[in-house]
């Protein structure tokens, strides 16, 4: 973002450490002010500039006049019987996204959205049906982690972030990368790079750029092992077909600690779930260090697909497993609150008024 602090209020949640240091340098301050400020915001939970006692009085006065620390707001909270929590979070202009917290024994994963709606037209995805509205800002992306962690409190730490909510994160590259850099910064949440995962439908040029610019784990939504079917399920495949996608994956896996790529494969009854499909997948991934995550399809109204049976999924898994590929079938979480994968907003949208009435919290509660 441009630094036009003199004329309009700058939301400091829009800066990663580098951006914040540049912001301070431009106003004649030392770059280390950036780490001081990040600590106040993300570690000390202080948003009142007057309380930032290691900043000079004049700097505090300047920040008060020209800057703000404004996170998005939790509008609705739903808690499933398995402890999964879903929040509808209000962004500026009244747009809303949903973030989901999935507690497990040794970790807590937050599923974060990158866009309002989505421009891609994956035929099995409910977000795709809404069309594209806009990119989220850095403040709106990091803000999901900020409000979620605050809401959960100290005893429930968010240890993992997956960019698997609404939107295609690689089509909002700059803001998503800045927000992921912030999440991994030692002066904010200090998440390990192995525990921050970006999921893409396969925007190949952006994957290659990510490879050079940001060190996070990569998940690729594959869903088909041949171009003919993938062109239908994930239409961006027409632009970046499987051979280009696999090249980009091999390149990505070459670097340091990344070791392997996670491939997501949604199980669609009678569409992509035969043993031949499984063998084709093994062949496709032969030279790519891979893990496969089989995702039970989550139906939504007018989705026109069904989920494969348990038996079919486990047969499919066996083929992959016998070929030496680490394969898991994703456990469906938060089913009773529509928090499961692919259910963000879509169907929930029609119901949201009702939920709003039932569950609207007063904002002091949400903080």
Q: Which residues bind ligand SAH (CB under 6 A)?
A: 122, 124-126, 164, 168, 199-201, 221, 264, 266, 295, 297-298, 341-342
Instruction: Classify the C-alpha dihedral 104-292-341-166 as positive or negative.
Output: positive
Burial 323-354 (b: 16+ CB within 10 A, else e): eebebebeebbbeebbbbbbbbbbbbeeebee
Report the residue number, 77 or 168, with the smaller CB distance to ligand SAH: 168
Report the residue number, 11 or 303, with the smaller CB distance to ligand SAH: 303
In the complex, what is the shortest distance from the CB of residue 110 to ligand SAH, in angstroms, rounded to a whole number? 14
Q: Contact at 8 Å (CB) between 122 and 129?
A: no
In the complex, what is the shortest distance from the CB of residue 297 to ligand SAH, in angstroms, rounded to a whole number? 5
In the complex, what is the shortest distance from the CB of residue 349 to ligand SAH, in angstroms, rounded to a whole number? 15
Interatomic CA distance for residues 367 and 365, integer angstroms: 6
- Helix and strand numbers (H, E) in the chain are 12, 14
Report the residue number, 125 or 216, with the smaller CB distance to ligand SAH: 125
Pairing of strands 108-111, 73-79: unpaired
In the complex, what is the shortest distance from the CB of residue 151 to ligand SAH, in angstroms, rounded to a whole number? 22
Q: Contact at 8 Å (CB) between 111 and 165?
A: yes
Instruction: Classify the C-alpha dihedral 313-307-168-145 as positive or negative.
Output: negative
Closest CB to ligand SAH: residue number: 342
Q: Which of the residues 111, 118, 125, 341 is marked catalytic? A: 341
In the complex, what is the shortest distance from the CB of residue 237 to ligand SAH, in angstroms, rounded to a whole number? 11
Interatomic CA distance for residues 56 and 69, integer angstroms: 18
Report the residue number, 158 or 166, with the smaller CB distance to ligand SAH: 166
Q: Which of 73, 54, 76, 143 is nearest to 345 (CA)?
A: 76
Report the residue number, 47 or 332, with the smaller CB distance to ligand SAH: 332
Q: Which of the residues 98, 140, 168, 264 is marked catalytic? A: 98
Interatomic CA distance for residues 111 and 166, integer angstroms: 9
For the chain, what is the radius of gyration of the CA atoms?
21
Catalytic (active site) residue 307: no
Catalytic (active site) residue 67: no
State the catalytic residues: 98, 341
């Amino acid at each position: 973002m441009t630094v036009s602090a003199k004329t309009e209020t700058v939301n400091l949640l829009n800066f990663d450490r580098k951006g914040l240091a540049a912001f301070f340098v431009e106003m004649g301050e030392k770059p280390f002010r950036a780490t001081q400020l990040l600590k106040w915001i993300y570690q000390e939970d202080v948003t009142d500039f007057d309380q930032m006692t290691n900043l000079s009085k004049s700097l505090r006065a300047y920040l008060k006049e020209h800057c703000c620390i404004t996170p998005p707001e939790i509008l609705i909270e739903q808690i499933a019987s398995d402890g999964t929590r879903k929040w509808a979070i209000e962004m500026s202009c009244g747009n809303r996204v949903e973030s989901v917290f999935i507690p497990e024994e040794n970790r807590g994963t937050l599923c974060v959205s990158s866009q309002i709606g989505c421009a891609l037209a994956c035929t099995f995805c409910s977000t795709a049906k809404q069309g594209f509205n806009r990119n989220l800002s850095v403040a709106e992306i990091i803000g999901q982690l900020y409000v979620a962690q605050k809401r959960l409190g100290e005893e429930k730490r968010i240890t993992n972030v997956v960019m698997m909510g609404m939107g295609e994160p690689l089509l909002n590259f700059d803001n998503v990368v800045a927000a992921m850099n912030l999440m991994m910064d030692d002066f904010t949440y200090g998440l390990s790079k192995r525990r921050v995962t970006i999921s893409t439908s396969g925007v190949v040029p952006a994957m290659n750029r990510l490879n050079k610019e940001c060190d996070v784990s990569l998940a690729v939504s594959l869903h088909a092992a041949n171009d003919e079917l993938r062109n239908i399920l994930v239409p961006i495949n027409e632009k970046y077909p499987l051979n280009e996608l696999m090249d980009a994956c091999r390149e990505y896996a070459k670097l340091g600690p990344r070791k392997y790529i996670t491939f997501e494969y949604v199980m669609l009854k009678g569409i992509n779930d035969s043993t031949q499909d499984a063998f084709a997948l093994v062949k496709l991934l032969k030279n790519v260090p891979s893990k496969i995550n089989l995702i039970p399809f989550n139906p939504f109204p007018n989705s026109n697909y069904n989920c494969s049976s348990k038996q079919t999924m486990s047969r499919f898994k066996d083929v992959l497993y016998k070929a030496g590929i680490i394969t898991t079938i994703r456990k469906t979480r938060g089913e009773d609150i529509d928090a499961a994968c692919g259910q963000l907003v879509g169907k929930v949208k029609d119901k949201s008024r009702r939920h709003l009435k039932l569950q609207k919290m007063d904002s002091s509660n949400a903080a």
